[in-house]
Amino acid sequence: MATHARERLLNAAEELFYAEGIRGVGVERILSESGVGRASFYRHFASKDDLVVAVLQRRDQAWRTWLAERVDAFGGKPLDVFDALAERFAGADFRGCAFINTMAETADTGSAAYRVAAEHKERVTTYVAGLLAKSGHEDAEALARRLVLLMDGAIVTALRERTTAPAREARAVAAAVLAAAA
């Protein structure tokens, strides 16, 4: 059941890293929480850094799938990303953005974890640009970068304030940005 051990490691690490930070959680804690032995850990991951990268890659796919599903449920318009974020901010387990948190903790822009986190942000920007282009906005890439800036600001502010209001405020600013660009 090697696959199960890998999944247990990924699940435990993802939960712990998101709740307590990457640096705050050691391999021993991950082993304890996952119920996986040290030898099995090293069969799947050469190091904690490799586990961090695997967690981030998996979370990237899951988060972007979640975002697309929620945006579609709200109507599929560019501003719907903020409605999806408001839902996420309301969750009791909301601890900000795992990717922003990783970049803040890692700081080494050359590290694999930092690169995966930065690539996630680029993929989100590409997704938002697609929504904008589909809605008929010109210069979708530049507008997407502005909207993602507002999304990231809303995420950090929601974490600080513990409220969904930043999503609504960022949505209003984004609407003004889109109106000005039209």
Give the tens place of pLDDT for each residue, 76-86: 999 999 999 99
**Angle at 158 (CA atoms; ends 173, 169), nearest 5 degrees:** 20
| The pLDDT of residue 2 | 53
Query: So what's the pLDDT on residue 1?
Result: 47
Is pLDDT at 87 greater than 80 in this prediction? yes
Provide the pLDDT for residue 136. Answer: 96
Task: Give the mean pLDDT of 114-126.
Answer: 98
pLDDT at 5: 93
Q: What is the mean pLDDT of the chain?
A: 96
What mean pLDDT do residues 119-123 have? 98
Label residue 112 exposed, middle or buried (CB < 10 Å: 0-12, 13-18, 19+).
Answer: middle
Q: Contact at 8 Å (CB) between 56 and 117? A: yes
Q: What is the dihedral of CA 169, 173, 178, 182, to 10 degrees?
A: 130
Q: How far is it, in rounded angstroms, from Cα 10 to Cα 88?
A: 22
Mean local confidence (pLDDT), 22-42: 95
Span 103-125, average pLDDT: 95
pLDDT of residue 182: 86
pLDDT band at 45 (very low <50, low <70, confident <90, very high): very high
Q: Of 2-16, 36-50, 123-137, 163-177, give the lowest mean pLDDT range.
A: 2-16
Alpha-carbon distance 53 to 13, whole Å? 11
Determine the pLDDT at residue 102: 96
Q: Please check the confidence at residue 70 and state whether its pLDDT lies above 60.
A: yes
